Structure 1
Amino acid sequence: MDRILKSISFIFHPLIMPLLGVLFYFSKSPRFIPYDIIQAKIISIFILTIILPVLLFFLLKTLGKANSIYLENTQERIYPLILNCVVILIVLQRILSPSQLIELYYFFVGILISSMTCLILAIFNFKASIHMISVSGVFMFFINLSIHFSINIMGTLALMSILTGAIATSRLHMKAHSYKELIFGVLIGLIPQLLLVRYWL
């Protein structure tokens, strides 16, 4: 059980969550979007939100600014979160457009707001759970899409509920966060997606 709980935190790392939201969107959107455009968007977002942050992490580790991929203390979080905000801004400026993919555009605006909030809290020495921020943000985005496209995704939402609980349990088991930090993480991830939905729903 110990190994399973630890593996959950690794497998469902926050880095993969934006791409998960993008893949889900393209799989459920009723709009006709040329396959070439879908492929280009997915590859670009994969490179910018997963490959680039991993490379930047190793650079920070080499420079002594980060010790663990889990960013265990608030000081370790500051530089990665700043870089993450820059990466999300690049995605918004170069990859996504509100005139083409408005749902994904505001999904990433929500991610940017959540990242900036987490950064501000880290500067003030509060460690909100980035795992919970990411999974709750994606969860809320899925709910918004189900309403927007009038689709029944109860199975997916049930699975996301289980996943959210499993990640929270994993973080508590690893003593990475307190209950307060997990709750703040859920709110920081969920609220921006909830507030921004009025711009595209």
Structure 2
Amino acid sequence: MTDRILKSISFIFHPLLMPLLGVVFYFAKSPRFIPNEIIRAKIISLFILTVILPVLLFFLLKTLGKVKSIYLESTKERILPLMLNAVVIILVLQRIVTPSQVIELYFFFLGILISTLACLILAIFKFKASIHMIAVSGLFMFFIALSIHFNININGTLALMSIITGAVATSRLHLNAHTYKELIIGCFVGLFPQLVLVNYWL
């Protein structure tokens, strides 16, 4: 039962879903008036680019024999997917979340890009940082920054994010997907870019 729950946590809080979750949360909490048509268009566009497209690219890479499974167990398997993901994020920054429209989301995705590139560099040097921890810790830091930026009380959300972050780390350890070191480095790689970039929009 415990094994099933921890496996479910890894799937529910998959790294592909974290950017979209950050966007939905931003639009839900932003005090700015943004027409619903624009919100829907951006969410749909981001869903296609950050979820659907990476899944399709994964199946393409699997068909070509470049990756063996969705878990990307070796550092060698990670290199090409991370490169493609970086290209996708660059496309998002250029077309969907430009600084003139939604500056908070622009720097959120810029932080994701930096984290992705850092993870890629680590993979090239044969270190497997936890992508799950990169994603969830980056999202956690973004939520904290939004609460300060908009002066809103989201203590309940932040408490929940603390629990989720711990649950994801526990899940990855239980499944023997990562070591403590890989989880800690992953957390740092996800959180630090968001923390630094806060200075440009907070």
TM-score, normalised to structure 2, is: 0.99
Structure 2 gaps, min length 5:
none
Aligned positions, number: 201
Alignment of 1:78-93 (within 5 A): 78-93=79-94
| Pairwise CA distance, 1:7 | 1.0
**Quick one: percent identity of the two aligned structures?**
78
Matched, 1:116 2:117: yes
C-alpha RMSD of matched pairs (Å):
0.4
Counterpart CA distance in 1 for 2:69 and 2:151 is 42
TM-score, normalised to structure 1, is: 0.99
Residue 161 of structure 1 aligns with an amino acid whose one-letter code is S
Counterpart CA distance in 1 for 2:70 and 2:83 is 15
Alignment of 1:19-168 (within 5 A): 19-168=20-169
Counterpart CA distance in 2 for 1:69 and 1:154 is 34
Q: Deviations over 1:6-28 (max 9, x none)?
A: 11111111000000000000000
Which residue in the other structure is 2:14 paired with?
A: 13
Q: Deviations over 1:59-104 (max 9, x none)?
A: 0000111111121110110010000000000000011110110000
Q: Deviations over 1:9-60 (max 9, x none)?
A: 1111100000000000000000000111000000000000000000000000
User: After the TM superposition, which parts of structure 1 deviate over 4 Å for at least 4 consecutive aligned residues?
Assistant: none
Partner SS state of residue 177, structure 1? coil
Matched, 1:191 2:166: no
Structure 1 gaps, min length 5:
none
Residue 185 of structure 2 aligns with an amino acid whose one-letter code is F
| Pairwise CA distance, 1:189 | 0.2
